[in-house]
Amino acid sequence: MTTFKHLQISELPELIKNGDVVIADIRDANSFAAGHINNAVHLTNETIPDFIRETDIDLPVVVCCYHGNSSQQAAQYLISQDFTDVYSLDGGFSAWQLQYPDRIAR
């Protein structure tokens, strides 16, 4: 079985710059509304069926949570749904907002 990959915070800006990438934020609704990585989609139990149906499974998908722990299980789930290029963002949103405070949407 294929597995997801780990992505360091410092690697994400290059991936974003290179083009098509989907950032899937799995944090709770209030946290997502308070701030998230620019252009991230909020992925929840309610939105996952549409996400799976509507997202190109060959696009890179970066899963983001609070600290990079829960995103690993979500990333592995996406792999099990035939997504081919899935990453868990090490350090999560907490690390992102410390390193890139100017790249947060509210």
The 10s digit of each residue's pLDDT in 6-63 is: 999 999 999 999 888 999 999 999 999 999 999 999 999 999 999 999 999 999 999 9
- Fold for domain 5-105? Oxidized Rhodanese; domain 1 (3.40.250)
Predicted pLDDT at 2: 83
Catalytic site residue from 22, 63, 65, 95: 65
- Reply yes or no on whether 65 is catalytic: yes
Is 85 a residue whose pLDDT tops 60?
yes
Model-level pTM?
0.95
The amino acid sitting at 68 is G
Confidence label for 1 from pLDDT (cuts 50, 70 and 90): low
DSSP H/E element including 86: strand 86-89
